Structure 1
Amino acid sequence: MVVAIIIVFENRLLIMIGSNKYWRWFRRPWLVVHFIVATVFFLPTYLMIPDQESAKALFTQLAPCIPVYVDADLVFVAVIETRFLLRLAGALFLSAFLEIWTFAYLTDRMLGKQINRTMSVRTVELHRKFQRAFIVQLLIPILILMIPVAYVGVSCFTFYHNQAINNIAIIILSSHGFFSTIVMICIHAPYREFTILVFSVAVRFGQAENSSSVGPLRSHIVT
C-alpha cells in the first residue's frame, strides 16, 4: 500500500516533467527497487520464526498472567525479538513519508512554473485542488491509525498485554479501507455526487415499492 501511494505521487510529478529524460531513465530502477522492498519486507520475519515450543515457554515467562480463555497450544509465535522488525518498519515508513513529501513539493513547484506556459491558471488550480484533496484523503486515515500503531509499538517494546485494547487496535487497523472510503466520498466532488445520486435513486425506488405494495384499502364492512 505504501509503495502504491508513493507511485501515485511520482506519477503526478511525471506528468509535469514528462520531458525530463534523466528521471525517465532513473525511474525504472527506482520502481524495481520499491517493488523488491515491498516484496521482501516480511521476509526477515519469516526467516526469524522461532521454534514454537521454546517460544511459547518464553512467552509464558514474559506474560505469566495469560487469560484462561486463551489456549496457549493454539498460539503461534511469529517473532520473539520485535525491536528489529519495528525499527525496520519505522525506517521504511520514514523513507516513504520523505518520498511522498518530496514528490508533493516538487509537483506543487512544477505546477507554479506551468502557469501561462502549457497550462492555464484554472488548470493549475484544478491540479492543486486535486492534490490537496488527495493528501487530505491520505492524512486523515493515517492520523486515525496512528493511535493503534503507537500502542502496538509500545506494547511490543514493553511486553505489555491487554486483550481488550488489542482487539480495539485490530478493529481500528482493519477499518483503514472504511475510513479511506468515507474521506474520499467527502472530499472528492465526483464521488460525493455519484454517491448521493445512488442513495437518492435507492430511496425513491424504495418509496415507490412501498406505495405500490400498500395499494388502496378495501373495506370489508357489509351494510
Structure 2
Amino acid sequence: MGSAKWYLLNLHITCILLDWAMTVLAVPYLIFPALGGYPLGVLRFWFGVPSIVQLYVVMNLAFFAVTSVTLIFENRFYQLYARNSFWRYLRIPFIIINYLLDATHLLPACLMVPDQKTALEFTYEQIPNLSDEIKAEPLFILAIDFWVQMPYISMGLRNVVQVCLFGLINRNMNLESRSFNRSENTINLQRKFLNAIKAQLMVLAINFLVPQAYTVVSIATNYYNQFANNLVITIVALHGINSTLIMLWAHKTYREYCFKTFKKIRSFLGYTTPVSTVSIQPKASITI
C-alpha cells in the first residue's frame, strides 16, 4: 500500500477535479453526432470563460483520470513482478509520455476551430430535428471533421493497455498460486488485490468505455438522441464517486486512514457519538 499511496492520491484528486468540472464548473451539454454543445456551469455564467477553454480543460481531466487508473495498474505490476526486469527503465518514460499525450491530444483541434457560422449551418443540416431551445443557446462546434475523434481512439487504446497489464498480473498470480515459493496467506492477499483491480477495471469500462462507444457509434451513424447524450455526461460524471467507493472497499489501509481522518474531523467540530446508558432497577428480594 505504501508504494501505491501517491498513485491513489493522484487518482482521487483527478476524480474530484473531473467531478467538479462536469457537475459545477463546466457542465457540458453535448449534441452528438455533432462535435459541439454549450456549457451550463459557473465558468460560463459567473466568469465568462470561453467554451473552447472549458472543453479543453474537461477533456484533459478525463484523459488524466484514465491515465491515473493506468498508473495504478502499472505500479502494482511493477512492484509485484517487474522490479528486476527491463520495464524498470521504461516506466518513467511511459508515465511522462502518457501525460504529454493527455495535454496535447486536443491541441490540434482547438487550434483549428472552424468558422462558427459555417459550422452551425453544417450542424443544423446534420441534425434537422435540433430543438429551438438548443439553437437559442451559444453553441460551440469544435470541428466538422471525423479526425477529431482521434483522442477518443487514444483513450480506447489506453484501456487496452490496462487490460494487458491486468492479464499479466493475472497470469503471474495463477503461476505463483501453483508453486510453493510463497505462503498461502500471501497468495490470498494477492487474490484480494486482483479482485480490487477487477472492480476498478469494471468502473473504468462503465464510466468511460460505454460513453466512448456510444459517442463513436453516434458520430459514425449520424444518430441523434439528446436523452442518450445527457446520459453519457451523467455516466462520466459518476466516475469519481464510483472510483472512490471502489478504493474505500478494496484498499483496507486507505479505508482505515479515511475513517480515522473522518473521526478526527468529527472530534474537531465537537461531534461526539452519544453513549446510551441503561439503568437497571434492583429487584425486590422476598425472604421467608
TM-score (norm 1): 0.72
- Larger RCO (CA under 8 A, 6+ residues apart): 2
Q: Which one of 173, 182, 188 corresponds to residue 245 of structure 2?
A: 182
Matched, 1:3 2:67: yes
CA offset digits 1:31-89 (Å, max 9, x no partner): 332222222111232133111111111112222333121244611111112x3233552
Report which of the two has the higher share of strand: 2
Q: CA RMSD in A?
A: 3.4
SS of residue matched to 1:78 = strand
Q: Is the 8 A contact 1:138 1:180 kept in 2?
A: no
Larger Rg: 1
Residue 167 of structure 1 corresponds to 230
Helix, strand or coil for the counterpart of 1:66?
Answer: coil
Which of 151, 158, 162 is residue 214 of structure 2 equivalent to? 151
Q: Contact 1:45/1:79 (CA < 8 Å) preserved in 2?
A: yes
Q: Which residue of 2 aligns with 1:37?
A: 101
> Runs of 5+ in structure 1 lacking a partner?
212-223
> Which residue of the partner structure matches residue 191 of structure 2?
128
Q: Distance in 2 between matches of 1:30 and 1:150?
A: 26
Q: Distance in 2 between matches of 1:153 and 1:167?
A: 15
Identity across the alignment (%) = 27
- Distance in 2, matches of 1:63 and 1:101, equals 36
Aligned-partner Cα distance in 1 for 2:134–2:111? 26
- Once the 2 structures are TM-superposed, how far is the Cα of residue 157 of structure 1 from its aligned partner? 2.2
Which amino acid letter does the alignment assign opposite residue 106 of structure 2? F
| Cross-structure match for 1:100 | 162
The structure carrying a bigger helix percent of its residues is 1
Alignment counterpart, residue 67 of structure 1, candidates 131, 137, 141: 131
TM-score of the pair, normalised by structure 2 = 0.58
Query: d(CA) in 2 for partners of 1:187 and 1:28?
Result: 26
**Residues 151 and 25 of structure 1: is their aligned pair in 2 closer, same or farther, counting only changes over 3 Å?**
closer
- Cα distance in 1 for residues equivalent to 2:94 and 2:87: 10
Structure 2 portions without partners, runs of 5+: 1-64, 277-288
Aligned pair count reads: 203
